[in-house]
Amino acid sequence: MTDTLYGADIFLNGDGDIKLTPQDEFKIIESTDNLRQAISNRLDTVLGEMVLYTNYGSELSNNIGAKSTAVTLATIRQSVRKTLLQEPRIKENGIKNINTFYPDINDRTKIEVSITVVPIGTQTELNLIYPIFLA
């Protein structure tokens, strides 16, 4: 049964490819897992890329090629916040935490963003890690 609050969608693997069931049918993702996937999809999409939904997406691609500085990290956090504010399934004032960190301190080209939000209809926090590659 579909969760009407968070919806359902076709499950995409980490590369954005459609995941199939063993019976070669579309695998479906529901509930807060669907919201988590929707947030990642929105962050992956370049703002304005979708012709019919020009306000959908993020400005994170503007950071590709940028030098990893405190200003770049702040810009990334601000872009993530702006993108999350577009998502109607996140409570107003439901963005609890956005942190940037280097998973490998010796590699400043990969940044991970730790995101904590509170979806509508719950008090439970939803956490995800979103990778960003500067190079």
For the chain, the domains span 8-133
Kindly give, in sequence order, each residue whose CB lies less than 8 Å from that of residue 19, ignoring residues fewer than 6 positions away: 10, 11, 12, 13, 26, 27
**Interior/surface letters 107-117, b for 16+ CB within 10 angstroms, e for the rest:** eeeebebebeb
Alpha-carbon distance of 126 to 69, in angstroms, equals 28
The predicted model scores a pTM of: 0.89
Alpha-carbon distance of 109 to 118, in angstroms, equals 29
pLDDT tens per residue, the chain (135 residues)?
A: 456 788 899 999 888 889 999 999 999 999 999 999 999 999 999 999 999 999 999 999 999 999 999 999 999 999 999 999 999 999 889 999 999 999 999 999 999 999 999 999 899 999 999 999 998
Q: Does domain 8-133 have CATH number 3.40.1160.10?
A: no
| Residue 112, both tokens | 């991970």
